[in-house]
Amino acid sequence: MKRVARIACIALVLMLICALLGWAMMPRWKSKPYTDHIAVTSSDPAIVPASISIAHEGQYQTRETQLSVDIGDGETLPAVLREPINAPGARPACLFIHGSGTSGAEDFGDIANAMASAGIVTLVPAKSNEDYTIFHRDYPRFASEYSKALDVLRDVDDVDQSNTGIYAESEGTWIATILASKRHDIAFAALTSAPVFKGREQMAVAMSTYAHEAGAPKPVIEDTMKLLSLDYRPFGLQYADFDADHYLKSLTMPVLVSYGVYDTAMPIEQGAQRIMRVAARNGNNAVTVRYFAGNHQMRAGKGLFAPGLPLADGYTQALENWVNGVAAGASHSGWATPQVAGPQPGQQYAAPSRTNSGIIGSLGVLVGVMLAGPLLLGVALLLSIVAIARTTWRERDDGIVRMRGKRAALYTVPPSHARETVPVSVAEPCWGLGLSLLAASALLYGYLAAVGAAAVLAMTPAPRLFDIGWHVLQVIAVLVVIILAWSGQTMWSARRNITGIQRMMCWLVIAAAAFTLLSMTFWGLFCWW
């Protein structure tokens, strides 16, 4: 009974420590529902200049020309120029800037061609993918390359240089704001699905929404906040802290902000409101906001990655009317339609103003903690193999074949004056604890991977499946603590009778348990409140 009481006390103390550490690992901010909803004046997203005649979609036939853009150092990028045939006079022109999901010169073909049919010259250059990875993205370099493409567009015959602007989607809107800060000859900026905020702040909106829609329990949603609070610099993810606010003030030209109401990745209301607020602060009231029944790619569907979807109804028409209206002076004479229009958006979560971390503040530290447990168990396994091999070799040399194939090397030998006592084994506690750690880690990381996949792929699990799974993991975490308490107490009792290698194995397994519990604590398995 005394041994059971000791094990219970050790387990309770360990769980208390883990619970306190779990509280300290919580970030100093929370993902909050968004409540400051934007006022949409009309449900019709159409854009109509007041008392100005403009060209409309389909008015002109178009032609395509393959070009090359010299970006320096002997490198060129392919580009596709689309022009309206027989359009009179100097024409407004638009440069397309890629987001993270596109990079080729043939991308944006439907939008660019529709704009050209309304009398707007368009240029879609390919985006250089050199050093463009999940770990590294050089936005200033991209802005410099697109600037050279803008010069090419401005030099095209019959292009009105005073009415040449840019169209950017998603991540490309960050590049667009840098470009706008470097040169002051950009006549207009059409920003679609703009993140607006810093990467980690925008991802707070996306990950909170994804996890909620995937049916993830509250502790898992809190885990996303922990991840977003971490310092990513050890992995080169500095662009997560791209200073979007610094460049946002460069939007001094007429701006069209467009979002799809089914876009759960972007701050579709908060972002538009911030652009309008910052622009107004810098004396620019020529900001038009439009919402469409579309997704992040402005396609007519709710699936984020669904291929082959048509563009949202009315999207290209509104875009063309706005560009032609700006070129015709509508920014000064006014519009016949409201500043904010389209279907009512419903942003679920707010982008946070700060993302302070808990006591684990680095992604490198977290990865180290998660890998340390399995690695230490691997080293312990190698030591056990060495111990067994040494024992087997010694028995062969001595001509003694005893307990071959068993773990005799892992059993302590009682002193000569106490031969009658039962030998205390450290094999069972060592490998019982080790196997429980591996199983618990595999289940936890597998669960997190399943939640992540369901969130990103917009899959809907069986009702309460993830919630039940989370509570199962919490029970497993308690069992691991109990096994650790039993194993640790057993190893401590046998500490005087085990060999050097066996002692090292015990310490390695205990250390692996400490790192595994620390990982479980970070992911919130001991937060029962």
Q: What is the DSSP string of 450-493?
A: HHHHHHHTT--PSTTHHHHHHHHHHHHHHHHHHHHHHHHHHHHH
Q: Is residue 195 within 8 Å of 173, Cβ to Cβ?
A: yes
Confidence of residue 373 (pLDDT cuts 50, 70, 90): very high
Asked whether residue 444 carries a pLDDT value surpassing 70, the answer given is yes
Instruction: Quote the CA–CA distance of 125 and 56 in Å, as a whole number.
Output: 24
pLDDT score, position 424: 44
Query: And the tokens for 356?
Result: 């302070």
Mean residue pLDDT of the chain comes to 86
Give Cα 90 to chain centroid, integer Å. Answer: 43
Asked whether residue 190 carries a pLDDT value surpassing 70, the answer given is yes
So where are the chain's domains? 2-26+358-522, 62-225+236-341
Report which of 349, 288, 291, 344 is spatially closest to residue 321, judged by C-alpha positions: 288
Sign (positive or negative) of CA dihedral 282, 285, 290, 291: positive
Number of helices (H) and strands (E), helices first, in the chain?
14, 9
Strand duo 75-84 + 121-125: pairing: antiparallel
What CATH number does the domain located at 62-225+236-341 have? 3.40.50.1820
Q: What is the amino acid identity at position 390?
A: R
Q: What is the amino acid identity at position 437?
A: L
Is the model's pTM score more than 0.75?
yes
Instruction: Quote the CA–CA distance of 202 and 275 in Å, as a whole number.
Output: 14
Q: Is residue 515 within 8 Å of 372, Cβ to Cβ?
A: yes
Secondary structure (3-state) at 48? coil
DSSP state of 33: B
Asked whether residue 74 carries a pLDDT value surpassing 70, the answer given is yes
Query: And the tokens for 49?
Result: 């200049």
Residues 6 or more apart in contact with residue 283 via CB below 8 angstroms: 252
Secondary structure (3-state) at 485? helix
The backbone region for 269, taken as left when phi is positive above 0, alpha when psi lies in -120 to 50, beta otherwise, is alpha
Q: State the burial class of residue 184 (Cβ atoms within 10 Å of its Cβ: 0-12, 13-18, 19+).
A: exposed
Instruction: Quote the CA–CA distance of 150 and 130 in Å, as a whole number.
Output: 20
- The helix or strand, by DSSP H or E, that contains position 404, with its residue range, turns out to be none
Q: Is residue 120 within 8 Å of 150, Cβ to Cβ?
A: no
pLDDT digits (tens, 9 = 90+) for 92-135: 999 999 998 788 999 999 999 999 999 999 999 999 887 777 77
pLDDT score, position 523: 93
Query: And the tokens for 480?
Result: 């691991």
Confidence of residue 529 (pLDDT cuts 50, 70, 90): low
Report which of 271, 274, 279 is spatially closest to residue 251, judged by C-alpha positions: 279
Confidence of residue 442 (pLDDT cuts 50, 70, 90): very high
pLDDT score, position 225: 85
Instruction: Quote the CA–CA distance of 9 and 489 in Å, as a whole number.
Output: 11
pLDDT score, position 275: 96
How crowded is the C-beta side of 239, counted as CA atoms within 13 Å?
17
Report which of 286, 281, 278, 279 is spatially closest to residue 334, judged by C-alpha positions: 286
Phi, psi of 421 (to 5 degrees): -75, 155
Instruction: Quote the CA–CA distance of 363 and 372 in Å, as a whole number.
Output: 14
* Opening angle at CA 33, ends 27 and 35, nearest 5: 135
Report which of 430, 395, 414, 397 is spatially closest to residue 501, judged by C-alpha positions: 430
Give Cα 200 to chain centroid, integer Å. Answer: 8
Query: And the tokens for 443?
Result: 């289940």
pLDDT score, position 198: 86
Phi, psi of 69 (to 5 degrees): -110, 120
Q: Is residue 204 within 8 Å of 352, Cβ to Cβ?
A: yes
Phi, psi of 38 (to 5 degrees): -75, 145
Instruction: Quote the CA–CA distance of 470 and 429 in Å, as a whole number.
Output: 27
Mean pLDDT for the stretch of residues 242-248: 88
Secondary structure (3-state) at 423? coil
pLDDT digits (tens, 9 = 90+) for 374-430: 999 999 888 878 777 776 776 665 554 444 444 444 444 444 444 333 334 667 788
pLDDT score, position 232: 82
Residues 6 or more apart in contact with residue 32 via CB below 8 angstroms: 349, 350, 352
Secondary structure (3-state) at 272? helix
Give Cα 122 to chain centroid, integer Å. Answer: 32
62 - beta bridge partners? Answer: 84
Q: State the burial class of residue 220 (Cβ atoms within 10 Å of its Cβ: 0-12, 13-18, 19+).
A: buried
